[in-house]
Chain A
Amino acid sequence: MTLLRFEDVSLHRGGRLLFEGVSFVLGAGERLQVTGQNGVGKSSLIRLAAGLLREASGRIERSPLALADDNVAVDRELTLKQALSFWDGSVGTAMEALGIACLAEVPVRLLSSGQLKRSTLARVAASDAKLWLLDEPLNALDGDGAERLSRIIDAHLTAGGAVLAASHQAIAGEWPKLELGA
């Protein structure tokens, strides 16, 4: 089953051609890492896959998806559990998996950037979307966080999901690479 398909996609940003001719297919149980230098368009490709940007040409097919990027999208004045529950009712397991269950009653504004990163990943893990889009998922994560991330990714792939990640760092596991700007 195809969860995400790019067919000869190009993207313009600010009047400049960012990339062109990008084609790939992501099916159930598959993962793909977008790599490349800073400014080559990794994040833009993720936002394009999410449907938040429009492609200049080509075709994109996508199934329901969940996105984790640098924007936390949780209300700072609430406790972490309340804030995450706004998006998905059952966040307990996901918070457990990311090691932030103990922070459930802590107001979001007191969390560190690593804890916020784990929260955005927990929001994705709690959603029932098959397709995960992760933009720089390792940013601000410590060793334990990175390990937990690779564990939830493995579990998600085993359950028939797919993951598209953009990162210039190496993510644990066997990742086919899509190099932008090569």
Chain B
Amino acid sequence: MIGALILRDLRRGLAGAAWLPVAFFLLVATLVPFAVGPDAQLLARIGPGALWIAALTAALLPIERLIEPDRADGVLDQLALHGVADETTAVAKIAAHWLSFGPLLFIAAFPAAVLLGIDPAALKRLLLSIWIGTPGLAALAVAVAALTAGLPRAGSIAGLLLLPVAVPLLIFAAAFCGDGSNQALALEAAISILLLAGAPFVTAAAIRAART
């Protein structure tokens, strides 16, 4: 059942607006040179950090369709009745969300790096930090989506919930992109793992609490 659920969510994610967060990410990358001016050195220095901010805000876009449609339509109830633990549902949703979001963001980082004049060595670090950080970001997005499911204006509340919790991820990802310190990378990975480990339980508890 979990494989079928991941495939289903992935199909829905890609059939929906999977390109939207990526387009948004590239749009923000385009805005940065306009905002700070065409100083190539400055752009290359702040580029990876700016792209990480773009990635965080892009991660907010799909939040409202991660959990809420399935909650409203009774899919979460039926999964529970079919013997799927809410935690398993959460893991499947995190996996599917990452698959529809992480790899596309990874690819979009190439044109974005060109736009900001990021050199190949820094691009390599940026890609590695995206590879390691996006699973944690996907887990956080699913947990926040479950916590805000069914609320009016869930999208804006989700932003207020997600962005502060994502700050440690941003700090260490940007630090690694900046100077290539392995400690920063290890800490980014640690936070990503922490989010991945905790999110299924938060998500499942939120799903259960939303059952009325």
Contacts and interface: CB of A to CB of B under 8 A. Distances in A.
B45 interface: no
B36 interface: no
B74 interface: yes
B82 interface: yes
Q: How large is the interface on B (under 10, 10 to 19, 20 to 34, 35 or more residues)?
A: 10 to 19
Given A53-B211, A75-B8, A67 B15 contact: no
A86 B211 contact: no
Nearest to B4: A86
Interface string B44-78: 00000000000000000000000000001111011
A87 B82 contact: yes
A111 B82 CA distance: 25
Nearest to B74: A71
Interface string A42-80: 000001001111000000000011110111110101000
A50 B75 CA distance: 14
| Interface-central residue, A65, A66, A69, A86, by most chain B CB under 10 Å | A86
Contact of A66 (B4, B75, B81, B211): B81
Contacts of A52: 77, 80-81, 211
Given A13-B212, A52-B211, A86-B4, A72 B81 contact: no
A67 B75 CA distance: 11
Nearest to A70: B74
A156 to B, nearest CB: 17
Main secondary structure of the interface of A (DSSP, over half): loop
B211 A71 contact: no
A73 B211 CA distance: 15
A77 B81 contact: no
Interface string B195-212: 000000000000000011
Interface string B178-210: 000000000000000000000000000000000
Given A13-B212, A52-B211, A53-B211, A86 B77 contact: no
Contacts of B15: 77
B81 A65 contact: yes
A77 B80 CA distance: 22
Given A53-B211, A67-B81, A73-B78, A86 B8 contact: yes
A77 B78 CA distance: 18
Contacts of A53: 211-212
Interface of A: 13, 47, 50-53, 64-67, 69-73, 75, 77, 86-87, 123
Interface of B: 4, 8, 12, 15, 72-75, 77-78, 80-83, 211-212
13 contacts: A50-B81, A53-B211, A66-B81, A67-B77, A67-B78, A67-B81, A71-B77, A72-B74, A73-B75, A75-B12, A77-B12, A77-B15, A86-B4
